[in-house]
Structure formats: C-alpha cells, structure tokens
Amino acid sequence: MPITPDQPILMFDSGVGGLSVLRALRRVLPQAPVIYVADNAGLPYGGKTEAEIAARVSGLLGRMTERLRPRLVCIACNTASTIALAAVRDVLEVPIVGTVPAIKPAAGMTRTGVIGLLGTEATIRQGYVDRLQAEFAHDKTLLRHAAPDLVTAAEAMMRGGDDAGGAAQRAAAALRAMPGGDTIDTVVLACTHFPLMIDDLAAAFGPGVRFIDGADGIARRIAHLTDGQPFARSVPDQALFTRDDPGLIALAPALARAGLDHTVIF
C-alpha cells in the first residue's frame, strides 16, 4: 500500500532515552509525524534476560504496528536493538532502524587509543558489541562499564530532578579505575538515556574527553529510508506509554519540548 502523508514514524524505547534520538530526527525531518513509545511498564531493560527482552520488544512492536500503522519503526534503545533487532525484522513488514553502540566513529576519534563505553548490563555483555569491537576497534582498548543508575538519573532529570546521587561521577570513576582508564579520551554513550546526562558526564570526566552516540546517524538513516515520501500531520505528535504512572505529569514539560503534546496509555 502507498505511504500516506500522515503515517507516523514510530520511535520506541524503554523510557525517555529515545528523546535524544527524536531530538536528532527533528533536526533533519521536522515535518515528519512521530509517535513516541515508552515501555515504562518494562523499564529498565538492562537487568532483564535476553529472552525476556526479545519476547517483550517483539510482542509490543507487533501489536503497535498493527494498531498504529507506522511507515517506519525506530528502536531507539541500544539494549533492545542489540538483542531483539533481528527478531523484530523477521516479524514486522515495515522498515526497522536500530540503535547500536557508536564504536566505529569512536575508533576514528580517539587519539590515545583508549575508549570508554557506558551502557546497560545487557548491552555491554552482547556478542554484537564484541563484533563491533573486533571489526572497527581491534587495535584500540575498549573499556566497558554498566551504569544502570545513569538510566534512573536520566529518567529523574527529565521529570525535573538532577543527578544529586552522583551517577555520572560514579560512572566516570569506574571507567577511570580500569587499567588504562586514566588515558580515556573518547566515551561511547551506548544507551539513549545517557546523552540526556551529557552535562553531568562532561563535568565528571573533565576536559579532554569527547562523547559519541548514535543519534545523528540514526536520524540520517531514517531520512534516507523515507526520502521522497510525503509528510503531513493530521494530528499532533504524541507520546504513548505502556503503563499509567503518576510521574508522567512531571514528564509533561520535557515531552512538550520534544514536540509531544499528547500522552496516551497503550
């Protein structure tokens, strides 16, 4: 069937981390209608097993694409992408864009040859990350650290809080404490929540450290796959959550800044 102008791009994450990807998408496709989906009922993904994540993501996206009829699905979550991307592509008949750790560009950026990688527990242990390292950073040192409390801090920050608990400081200290960690000059943010914490992370790591994430590359890929398609909004963009939560009220200003003025519970 032909694409209609108001068919949305569906952007999926476990929480609000995907807003960092949506921000990049707005810069290249401001006219594109978007439905942002946050699986807050399943948050956090990082502590779940691979089987749990694959089943949950595949099931949710199957039901959502049937109901919402998106032109494209973006899995704006590193954990879900590294585990479930292949399974989702087998199930869905729409284009799927995933999110993977930006190890390749980091390898081109580093001058010391030592790269830090921050992600969830589930992401950093994936063979997919091993393969990216072997292909693009085999001559570099890649130091990995799981920082689930950064996800919690980012969720709180988007609701008006701050990193009073020092999650960014702990993440930086953990990477610095690893052999060779004192020469890290590039850090891969392998969770879409983490760019939301960029100011705190920059302060924690100090000068001379650059950060890289996949948001701009994802936005370019979506623009490429939808090139030439018509875009027009018939309704305002909306945020869809899988669980009603009192904290969603506090999230409203951040959603509005992202152009998501309506909240729906799926």
| Domain co-membership, 82 together with 39 | yes
The angle subtended at Cα 115 by Cα 175 and Cα 198, nearest 5°, is 70
The confidence score (pLDDT) of residue 129 equals 95
The confidence score (pLDDT) of residue 233 equals 95
| Domain co-membership, 124 together with 209 | yes
Residues recognised as catalytic: 77, 191
pLDDT at 1 over 80: no
pLDDT digits (tens, 9 = 90+) for 69-93: 999 999 999 999 999 999 999 989 9
- The CATH number of residue 81's host domain is 3.40.50.1860
| Domain co-membership, 58 together with 80 | yes
pLDDT at 220 over 90: yes
Q: What is the DSSP letter of 178?
A: S
Could you report how far apart the first and last alpha carbons of the chain are, in Å? 26
Which amino acid does the sequence have at 5?
P
| Domain co-membership, 192 together with 225 | no
Helix axes 19-28, 215-225, angle to 10 degrees: 50
Q: Is residue 220 part of a domain?
A: yes
Q: Is residue 4 part of a domain?
A: no
The confidence score (pLDDT) of residue 164 equals 74
pLDDT digits (tens, 9 = 90+) for 135-171: 999 999 999 999 999 999 999 999 999 887 899 999 9
The confidence score (pLDDT) of residue 2 equals 85
| Domain co-membership, 19 together with 113 | no
Q: What is the DSSP letter of 229?
A: -
CA distance 6 to 70: 9
Domains in the chain: how many in total? 2
The confidence score (pLDDT) of residue 223 equals 98
- What mean pLDDT is predicted for residues 7-17? 97
Exposure string over 124-138, b if 16+ CB within 10 A, otherwise e = bebebbeebbeebbe
CA distance 144 to 178: 9
Q: Is residue 32 part of a domain?
A: yes
pTM of the model: 0.95
For residue 8, cis peptide bond before it (omega within 30 degrees of 0): no
Give the pLDDT band of residue 214 (cuts 50, 70, 90): very high
| Domain co-membership, 223 together with 202 | no
pLDDT digits (tens, 9 = 90+) for 241-256: 999 988 899 999 999 9
- What mean pLDDT is predicted for residues 172-176? 98
Signed CA dihedral, 67, 73, 74, 79: sign only:
positive
| Domain co-membership, 69 together with 131 | no
The confidence score (pLDDT) of residue 162 equals 86
The angle subtended at Cα 72 by Cα 67 and Cα 77, nearest 5°, is 95
The confidence score (pLDDT) of residue 147 equals 97
| Domain co-membership, 223 together with 180 | no
pLDDT at 110 over 90: yes
| Domain co-membership, 90 together with 221 | yes
The confidence score (pLDDT) of residue 222 equals 98
Task: Give yes or no for a contact between 9 and 18, defined as CB atoms under 8 angstroms apart.
Answer: no
234: containing domain: 9-99+216-265
Task: Give yes or no for a contact between 169 and 204, defined as CB atoms under 8 angstroms apart.
Answer: yes
